Amino acid sequence: MSNNVYGVVLAGGIGSRMGNMEKPKQFLDLGGKPVIIHTIEKFAIHPGLKEVLVLSPRAWVSYTQDIVRKYLPSGKAVTVLEGGATRNETIMNAIRYIEGKGELEEDTIIVTHDSVRPFVTHRILEENIRFAGEYGACDTVIPATDTIVESRENDQITDIPNRRFMYQGQTPQSFRAKKLKELYESLTSQEKEILTDACKILVMKGEHVHLVQGETFNIKITYPYDMTVAKALLGLEEKEC
């Protein structure tokens, strides 16, 4: 496996204005620690990752640095960077950082992950590193349990794909960083707007994106309901979201 592997934790979103703001979900408390810290810890502890890059909205960079310092032991290579305007731009910021260090090689791998998925496991990270190395890219998924209904005009069904072939995307998504950068830069600005998912860029360009088996509990904490589920998974009593 490549020794040149970076964890890229996407703390997403443009962030809120200072003042009367709502705290982004990744900074909410889950069992005594911000959600994002649980996620960073999983990355920081994985021996296959040489450095963990945390991409945070501009307004939250210092805050993220502060909580990383507070909760993570010293000596762990965690660097907080500013995210971009879109998810892909944020990933590009991480790749530019690696390039700036002179470490963007053919075999450099990035394991990108939503900061609000703190239940990611060692096995999922391990397989992401392995398959990104072997195939160039991989995406973490679980088989779809609900029937997927397609509606192109949003008022009637245009298709019901066979569920057997449907999966729900989770993260991490992992890539050979140099290749992803080249492909991204080859897109027109219109394509960049449409292709919001990094794996989709590779699929559109005919590249192999391998599947990594996710976990049903690798949930994304997006809505208050998700926080209730996360607290229940941790055996905590729900008080507020």
Whether 220 and 170 have beta carbons less than 8 Å apart is answered as yes
Chain positions 54 to 73 lying near another protein, rule: CB under 8 A, are: 71-73
Judged by CB under 8 A, does residue 119 bind another protein? yes
131-to-116, 134, 136, 175 alpha-carbon distances in Å: 23, 5, 7, 9
- Residue 32, number of CB atoms within 10 A of its CB: 10
Judged by CB under 8 A, does residue 77 bind another protein? no
Decide whether 67 or 180 has the Cβ nearer to another protein. Answer: 67
Pair type for strands 78-82 and 51-56 = parallel
Instruction: Give me the residue label for tokens 């997006």.
Output: 222
Choose the stretch contacting another protein; rule: CB under 8 A; options: 13-21, 42-50, 84-92, 178-186. Answer: 42-50
Least CB distance from residue 235 to another protein, whole Å? 7
Chain positions 121 to 160 lying near another protein, rule: CB under 8 A, are: 121-123, 126
Q: Which residue among 12, 28, 42, 221 contacts another protein (CB under 8 A)? A: 42
Give alpha helix (H) positions in 20-75: 35-45, 61-71
Residue numbers at the binding site for another protein (CB under 8 A) = 31-33, 38, 41-42, 44-47, 71-73, 76, 118-119, 121-123, 126, 213, 217, 233-235
